[in-house]
Structure 1
């Protein structure tokens, strides 16, 4: 998980992390991953949706994004309880089985957007996204293999 990598980042030449970037490293933003809330049941337009929310073990920044969005949408979506699972895939499967709603990054939602009810997480007209970063210490660019890897990552469009 990104939090584990962040705590031990000095043990790595290059880190790819999600959420907040490392404060004492060079970091390049690779992409922003929009978040969506999915459910096996439709999202009503005229009443509050009350369902369990399934979340997966993630770093605090992911949970803060979801909590912030839920706060701003408490008039339309109200989780009855939260079920926390260890893996994102378990979270997806629980949602698919009708156990509750799940907030997932677009990058892992595969074809789910066409198969399940979903809403993009928005606050106002701004999408709620989760950034992905490549981070490294300045001296790492002196290592040819690390320098080429970073160049490759930063030249790609994700």
Structure 2
């Protein structure tokens, strides 16, 4: 089997959707379907079943797909080892990045790193911090940038700490928040739990949420346009002095904060590309970017 066939099967296994897999592999659906049929003929088994929304793998297909994932991991490891043997900082750095960090920090960091190491390419995956934690735990990425504290026994560097705050387009009193319109956004479970814990320690009634959006940046724009207040990290609204901002406090008077970390495995520092990037991040004031 060719490397491209393993890649195709692993992508189908991850997406469980022919359309999404074809888009990710830059193939037409007929081409992908034809290659899949050739693979089934080669092994003499049916690999998957189509359903109304996506596909399901047969037991035989499940075994072959898991083998494909292992093959890709091994291929990636040998490529990284060969690059490392050249004693050069080159190859592809795989990075997992939480959503806010991906939008506001990562492009600048990658540009600066690329200036020093032009032979490096990047494979960046973005999403909630919980997903980035899963990726680094499974060795699917070399490094993850994560908001919040997750179970981790390997290497991690604290990049910065930021306050959680109320951001409003108008002046307000904290005791009036339950009656004021609030804009909420989907976030990871740790952030949501932190905010809810603070709320119900201070108020008996639920918040008056009248707008729900998918992303924190959309939430911020709603606040800027006077549609309500929001509870979010200070760095999100720091560039907008026109907003009224008040930090959240714990019962002991300390501000509620959220940390942003760089997670990585000790053994990946044996790779020149990972070692160079980690050392680069350690010399940068990431919060100030």
Q: Under a length normalisation based on structure 1, what TM-score does the superposition of the two structures give?
A: 0.85
Counterpart of 2:246 (choices 119, 131, 144) is: 119
Q: CA deviation at 1:78?
A: 6.0
8 Å CA contact 1:22, 1:135 repeated in 2: no
Corresponding residue for residue 283 of structure 2: 155
Question: Is 2:223 the partner of 1:109?
Answer: no
Q: CA deviation at 1:142?
A: 0.5
> 102-111 vs 66-75, which deviates more?
66-75
8 Å CA contact 1:27, 1:134 repeated in 2: yes
* DSSP-derived class of the 1:63 partner: helix
Do the aligned partners of residues 35 and 121 (structure 1) sit closer, same or farther apart at CA in structure 2, a change above 3 Å counting? same
* DSSP-derived class of the 2:207 partner: strand
Do the aligned partners of residues 82 and 12 (structure 1) sit closer, same or farther apart at CA in structure 2, a change above 3 Å counting? farther
Structure 1's unaligned 5+ residue stretches are: none
Identify which of structures 1 and 2 has the higher relative contact order when contacts are C-alpha pairs closer than 8 Å and 6+ apart: 1
Corresponding residue for residue 130 of structure 1: 258
Matches within 5 A, 1:26-45: 26-44=155-173
Map Cα deviations across residues 81-125 of structure 1 (whole Å, 9 max, x no partner).
36331111110111122222111212221332x212221111132
8 Å CA contact 1:53, 1:83 repeated in 2: yes
Distance in 2 (CA, whole Å) between partners of 1:109 and 1:81 is 19
Paired residues in the alignment total 155
8 Å CA contact 1:52, 1:82 repeated in 2: yes
Map Cα deviations across residues 19-50 of structure 1 (whole Å, 9 max, x no partner).
123424322211111111111221126x5331
Corresponding residue for residue 212 of structure 2: 84
Distance in 1 (CA, whole Å) between partners of 2:129 and 2:210 is 22
Q: Under a length normalisation based on structure 2, what TM-score does the superposition of the two structures give?
A: 0.49
> 131-140 vs 3-12, which deviates more?
3-12
> Which has more radius of gyration?
2
Corresponding residue for residue 143 of structure 2: 14
* DSSP-derived class of the 1:156 partner: coil
Corresponding residue for residue 180 of structure 2: 51
Corresponding residue for residue 129 of structure 2: 2
Where is the helix percentage greater, Structure 1 or Structure 2? 2
Question: Is 2:140 the partner of 1:140?
Answer: no
Give the aligned CA root-mean-square deviation in angstroms: 2.1
Distance in 1 (CA, whole Å) between partners of 2:259 and 2:130 is 14
Do the aligned partners of residues 35 and 72 (structure 1) sit closer, same or farther apart at CA in structure 2, a change above 3 Å counting? same
